[in-house]
Amino acid sequence: MKISSRFTVAVHILSLIKVDSSHPSTSEWIASSVNTNAVVIRRVIGMLKKAGLVGVKAGAGGAYLLKDLEEITLLDVYRAVAAVEEGELFQMHENPNVECPVGANIQSVLELILKRSQDAMEQVLADVTMKELVTDLIAKIDA
Amino acid sequence: MKISSRFTVAVHILSLIKVDSSHPSTSEWIASSVNTNAVVIRRVIGMLKKAGLVGVKAGAGGAYLLKDLEEITLLDVYRAVAAVEEGELFQMHENPNVECPVGANIQSVLELILKRSQDAMEQVLADVTMKELVTDLIAKIDA
DNA sequence: AAATGTTGTAACTATAATGATTACAACAAA
DNA sequence: TTTGTTGTAATCATTATAGTTACAACATTT
């Protein structure tokens, strides 16, 4: 299974808010850039709002950043949209048979390794800020 | 979303084949240790077989290892059961609007970073062999 | 050769998450 | 007051997962 596109959509949203100042960042406008339905965008923005990353002018239209892009890591975004529940990237099989020595002990052995693996993935996200991403993005746009 | 439990089930299967030599490794027997249906086990074993990790005595009953555990990394197992299609851990949103500068360029900027993140996760799996895991497992069992 | 037990698959089911869509009340700004 | 937007509920189609039943093909044992 894959990690929900909510994550990449959220990154797109934040980038667009920052890069395009010619339009108010309404859900319709963002949806036309992402190429999806405005309600999908509103749902993701709702999650970013709960995480304190953006604010929204209710009724009036338009989302805006509440933090500097330097202060937002990709991991913050990833967590904000609950792309994966914390510490739950790998699905363990449930209730192995504890009567069996292997069944009784496999979980704890695996957990350690899988956590390391997941942590490594998240660490890469933690090391990239939205600022860096948008800088790269603008470089591409201007190229 | 989470990575399919096929992966941890597969690790359980390989471990059991190695650790428990008192029984032939039939799907029923393995299923009773994993605590699931025998057909689920057969399906995973089928994938491990395609990947060349195990052989199965058709009709007679019993799976057996085709490689030394030192030669099987967790990444091999992960790939064998197609827990995640190669290079596809993160779901990108499809068809962003190329009329929009952000939509036109966000994908390529994101791809690089997400690939790094995914590679970091897989590298941890690649660095652990089934041998190490089973050694840890036996240590727990004997403790 | 026959009986037994296992494998490999197909088919079906239930469950859950995703993403798209419609609808509409609440609200802000002009 | 009008207009346009947000927040949210409700519904739907699609997809993957995991469990289950059923059964033909096959190997081993007697």
Buried b (16+ CB within 10 A) or exposed e, A30-63: bbbbbbbeeebbbebbebbbebebbebeeeeebb
Q: Poorest-confidence range of A82-86, A138-142, B16-20, B24-28?
A: A82-86
**pLDDT computed for residue A84 by the predictor:** 87
Count Cβ atoms below 10 Å from residue A1 Cβ, excluding itself: 15
**pLDDT computed for residue A23 by the predictor:** 86
* Residue B21 touches chain A, beta carbons under 8 Å: no
For the CA atoms of B28, B29, B30, B34, the dihedral, rounded to the nearest 10 degrees, stands at 90
Q: Report residue B49's pLDDT band, with 50, 70 and 90 as the boundaries.
A: very high
Q: What is the mean pLDDT of residues B18-34?
A: 93
Q: Which helix (H) or strand (E) holds B115?
A: helix B101-126
> How far apart are alpha carbons A17 and A30 in whole angstroms?
8
Q: Which of A17, A75, A79, A117 is the best residue to mutate to test the B interface, defined by the most B CB atoms within 10 Å of its own CB?
A: A117
**Cα dihedral sign, B19-A95-B62-B14:** negative
**pLDDT computed for residue A61 by the predictor:** 77
Find chain B residues with C-beta within 8 A of A19's C-beta: 101-102
**Tens digit of pLDDT for each residue in B127-142?**
999 999 999 999 999 9
The helix/strand/coil state of A54 is strand
Whole-angstrom CA distances from B80 to B47, B48, B65, B76, B83 are 6, 6, 14, 6, 8
State yes or no: pLDDT of B61 exceeds 90: no
The whole-angstrom distance between residue A5's C-alpha and the CA centroid of its chain comes to 8
How many Å is the Cα radius of gyration of chain A? 19
Nearest to B81 by CA among B3, B20, B18, B24: B3
Distance A45 CA to C7 C1' (A): 51
Give me B101's structure tokens. Answer: 């500068």
> How far apart are alpha carbons A67 and B102 in whole angstroms?
20
What's the residue count for chain A?
143
Most confident of B18-22, B32-36, B80-84: B32-36
Distance A26 CA to C24 C1' (A): 18
B35, A122 Cβ separation under 8 angstroms: no
> How far apart are alpha carbons A67 and B133 in whole angstroms?
43
At B90, phi and psi to the nearest 5?
A: -95, 130
Distance B37 CA to C13 C1' (A): 14
Q: Report residue B72's pLDDT band, with 50, 70 and 90 as the boundaries.
A: very high
**Tens digit of pLDDT for each residue in B81-124?**
987 877 789 999 989 999 999 999 999 999 999 999 999 999 99
Q: Flag residues of chain A having pLDDT under 70.
A: none
Beta carbons of A12 and B116 less than 8 Å apart = no
* Residue B51 touches chain A, beta carbons under 8 Å: no
Q: What is the mean pLDDT of residues B7-19?
A: 97
The whole-angstrom distance between residue B11's C-alpha and the CA centroid of its chain comes to 7
Whole-angstrom CA distances from A119 to A84, B4, B64 are 12, 18, 33
**pLDDT computed for residue B7 by the predictor:** 98
Nearest to A106 by CA among B56, B143, B40, B9: B9
